């Protein structure tokens, strides 16, 4: 995973991955400034090198 910060550009490596209806990658500086607003809007925030855990079918009755 070598994503760049979407605000700073390719010279700065992303530290966090945000997911909602798409993905947003931010460095530590940008994430700390935007964290409250993004979490209020419902973005899921993960460390950039970590894989997100997808919901499993058995967690939703009638999904199979």
pLDDT digits (tens, 9 = 90+) for 36-64: 999 999 999 989 876 555 555 555 455 54
Q: Six-digit token pair at 1?
A: 């995973």
Nearest to 47 by CA among 4, 5, 18, 10: 18
Q: Which range among 3-7, 8-12, 15-19, 45-49 shows the weakest confidence by mean pLDDT?
A: 45-49
DSSP per-residue string spanning 1-64: --PEETTTEEEEE--EEEESSSEEEE-HHHHHHHHHHHHHTT-EEEETTSPPPPPPGGGSTT--
Strands 9-13 and 4-5: antiparallel
């Amino acid at each position: 995973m070598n994503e760049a910060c979407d605000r700073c550009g390719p010279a700065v490596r992303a530290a966090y991955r945000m997911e909602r209806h798409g993905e947003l990658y931010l460095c530590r500086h940008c994430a700390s400034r935007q964290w409250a607003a993004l979490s209020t809007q419902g973005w899921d925030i993960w460390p950039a090198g970590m894989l997100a855990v997808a919901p499993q079918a058995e967690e939703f009755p009638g999904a199979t």
